[in-house]
Chains A and B, each alone.
Chain A
Amino acid sequence: MAGNVWIVAEHWRGTASDATRELLAVGRGLADSLGVRLEAVLLGHGMRGLAASLGPADAVLYVDHPTLADATGLVASRAVAALASERAPAVILLPTTNVSWDLLGLLPARLGVPLVNFCREVEVVDGALRVGSLLYGGKMAVTVDAGPGPVVLAILPGTGTAPAPGAPEPHVEDVAVDLADDSGVRLVAYEEPEAGDVDITQQDALVAVGRGISSEANLEVAEDLADALGGAVCGSRPVIDQGWLPLVRQVGKSGLTVKPRLYIAAGVSGAPEHVEGMKDSELIIAVNTDAGAPIFSIAHYGIVDDATDVLEALAEAVRKRKG
């Protein structure tokens, strides 16, 4: 394999994403195994500080332009593809976040190279990439021999551990690319969700409800337990789609990432998009009538039973303890 390992650093509304740290860790490991350099592509505006902090990378290819503060996938993919055509990396790593989603789809299309999606492990075997991916909503694990590259890999969150701090500053290279945009796709404004009175990212205890609570009426039971615990109720995507909870309570890929001391997942199946938003919770208790629900593989304690029944009984038990 000749080419380097690239990551595309992700930032949004001025803040660097956690996903970027993970990509750097994965990329570093991969680059070391292959004996090549790790380079980070950063498209942004006024982000030299961020560029300097991408430590585990050996170099940063930094494109600075006002339009890149909120680049569309079209603009970003064109820019990265231009760089990649010049410099021929072997592997490009991207996160599977909403922010990078369009880029993830368009970049391999533009470069004419394959994508391997849903990656949760990458290793080098005889100089070739062997990728482990999760398919079908996490129900099947497949191994893909991605060869020597070039290839784009979509890395699932939680794949890389955060690298040790104190890495030396990378060499930041200013590069220029053609950023003319005739796509006709233009960001007008961001729309914040209706502010709720509760910020679930600041709660110590969260009671999460999923499709398994069956009806909006059962929310009361979850709220009662949250109340008893001094926490708040949040939900997975289906519950928000149904309108039972507002957007600000959504945990997961399109919602918020939470790390409370206690996370009770009631009637939540544990689909990857939800799990990525809560997997770092300190104590995870899951209740689901389906013994095979994926949530049980990341929970610390599991109960196979009706969520409403268990929540109700737990609220009572908690209140009794509190006296």
Chain B
Amino acid sequence: MPDPTAQTLFGIPGVAILWALTAIVFVLFGQRAYRILRAVGRGRAEARWDRLSSRLWSVVVNVGGQRRMFDNPGVGLAHLVIFWTFLFYAVSFAWSLLRGLLPFLPIPYPDDVLLFTIPMVLLSVATLAALAGAAFRRYVLVPPRLAQSRDAGLILLLITLLVVTFLVGQAAKEGLGGLSAAAAESLYTAMWWIHMVAVLGFVAYLPYSKHLHLLASPFNVFTASLATGGMPPPSEGAARLEEFTWRELFNGLSCAECGRCDRACPAFATGELLSPQDLIHDVKLMVLGRASGRDGNGSLVDVVGAEAVWACTTCMACMERCPVFNEHVPLIVQMRRHLIGEGAVGAGVQDMLMGMTRYGNSFGQSPRNRPKWTRDLGFEVKDARKEPVEYLWYVGDYASFDPRVQEVTRAAARVFHDAALDFGILYEAEQNAGNDVRRLGEEGLFEMLRDKNRAAMESAQFKTIVTTDPHTYHVLRHEYGLDGQVKHYTEVLEGLVSAGRVSTSPNGHGRVTYHDPCYLGRYGGVYDAPRHVLEGLGLDLVEMPRNRSAAYCCGAGGGRIWMEDAAAGGERPAESRVQEAAGLQGVGTMVVACPKDLVMFRDALKTTGLEGTLEVRDIAELVEDAMGATRDAVGATRDAVGATQRSDT
């Protein structure tokens, strides 16, 4: 085929036109890109350059492999195809442009390289099918919260156009369709030009549209946080653009507006109190506004609204699902820090924080009440302040103070005791570990609690910390720097069960389902230990549709448990979850491993009228029942043997 740039149009050589168009486009693109990057650069520093090999691998898997898109396999496959086609097309475009602008270069056009065009053609055909599927999903199935923007429709049309022009051009080149040589040449040239102009136009348009995500998201994935916990770096909070970090601002550019975060968010499901997608979108508008010089000078908190900022449960379902690795939770925490700094907290949270500051617990009770749950145990729990122990048990506030949870804590203590575990507690010296305080944005109070806890731990001798509270588990492990020394009690129970120190006598619970706590599952990565315990007890475990990393939050996290119920409509998360459990065939027990889950779900049973249909039990209670059943069984056997012996005499 002749060189398409050798053509003239209205007497102007094609090369010149190409140069002109390219120059205009690149100036437009460059200027806009520069302004956007400068706006992002106004944000605070944040180091995301550690562990380069892990980061690169993440890009390979999550960008190259589009892993998170496969939460729905059909969607994943279609997007993977379109993505790789786009990559090939991008290479093809750059190559063609280079050759087109510099005709003296001794390289062929990509269209003339069979090794390249064959995969291009195959991908293009596959893409047509993928595009049809994508359009069907977007316009016929209409998934909720999928932003139906002009941009979204445009990109589908554009890719179709590019694919069609490429395929038609290739067909012309191959002499298909029974065209004369001259007609085929004209067709090929026309297709080439339409294709190039379309891409050039797209490049100019890209930094004004959601398609920014094409360029931004790989970098977003590369710089994603490798730490667990969604905490921003130390700060006094953020409301204005300059107060956020560059990476927090960059989230806005990477968003592809897919809506996965909204669909997963419990706060969104509860009367749309918070939309993670809108939050990211507001960040984007702030950055782009600053880039345009129009705007972006105000407070993001005012735009998002304090109610939405407080609505987040920090469950991390959004971040778990986001295919471009956007980080919603740090934005929320930054804004909460700002609100706390202004003293703009609701009465419930304020009362809790003041009681926490003074008494070291969220119940506003005297620290002397903390160990009172140990009465009526029938044995002394070791005081880790006075004698060395193997396991230091950080009990946690709800497990210690709430009468409903104290029963479970006692069950756990009896299990530990019966299994001859060497454990002790810090009695009055234990303070709230500070996880939720931190998520509420009260860094100063968190530091104070952490210092007091560290001092208490210094004075004790222990090998491992065990906790029955996932919030405590997470913060001790990842934010006190004790990783490696902290276990959740299900991990300890798992060891006991596999060592045969807990019997597998059936205990009447039969079919059960298990709820993964947010701070144990998504935050802690602990999914299997509790399941092994349940299986070790001989229970038949049935999974809920939303299980493991897709588990649905009970709604208590992020300090929500101390806030007024603002449910404006929609279903409270705990109610939705117990309905989900009750919907499983033959399942009468929902098993939890977190004190707040216990409280939230038992309350939800009442408000949904499911009391009597479903029960909520903690793993410790089931283990204790199993141990008791063994004792009873052993006792009954002994009695029977004794009776037989007596009757023989």
Contact = CB atoms under 8 A, between A and B. Distances in A.
Contacts of A312: 606
Interface string B393-415: 00000000001100000000000
B564 A216 contact: yes
A289 B403 contact: yes
Contacts of B403: 289, 306
Contacts of A215: 348, 564-565
Q: Give the dominant DSSP class at A's interface.
A: loop
A217 to B, nearest CB: 5
Interface in B583-619: 606
Nearest to A242: B347
Interface in A242-276: 242
A216 B567 CA distance: 13
A59 B348 CA distance: 54
Contacts of B564: 215-217
Q: Give the dominant DSSP class at B's interface.
A: helix
Contacts of A216: 564
A289 B564 CA distance: 20
Nearest to B348: A215
A253 B348 CA distance: 25
Contacts of B348: 215
A307 to B, nearest CB: 12
A217 B567 CA distance: 10
A313 to B, nearest CB: 10
Nearest to B565: A217
A216 B348 CA distance: 10
Nearest to B567: A217
A317 to B, nearest CB: 15
Contacts of A242: 347
Interface string B20-48: 00000000000000000000000000000
A221 to B, nearest CB: 11
Contacts of A289: 403
Nearest to A241: B347
A216 B564 CA distance: 7
A242 B404 CA distance: 27
Interface string B127-138: 000000000000
Nearest to A312: B606
A66 B564 CA distance: 51
Contacts of B347: 242
Nearest to B365: A290
A310 to B, nearest CB: 13
Contacts of A306: 403-404
Contacts of B404: 306
A34 B565 CA distance: 61
Interface string A194-218: 0000000000000000000001110
A127 B564 CA distance: 58
Interface string A275-303: 00000000000000100000000000000
A48 to B, nearest CB: 50
A237 to B, nearest CB: 15
B397 to A, nearest CB: 15
Interface in B427-475: none
Interface string A216-228: 1100000000000
A289 B403 CA distance: 8
Interface string B561-572: 000110000000
11 contacts: A215-B348, A215-B564, A215-B565, A216-B564, A217-B564, A217-B565, A242-B347, A289-B403, A306-B403, A306-B404, A312-B606
Q: 10 tightest A-B contacts by CB?
A: A217-B565, A215-B564, A216-B564, A242-B347, A289-B403, A217-B564, A215-B565, A215-B348, A312-B606, A306-B403
Interface of B: 347-348, 403-404, 564-565, 606
Given A215-B564, A306-B403, A312-B606, 8 more contacts: A215-B348, A215-B565, A216-B564, A217-B564, A217-B565, A242-B347, A289-B403, A306-B404
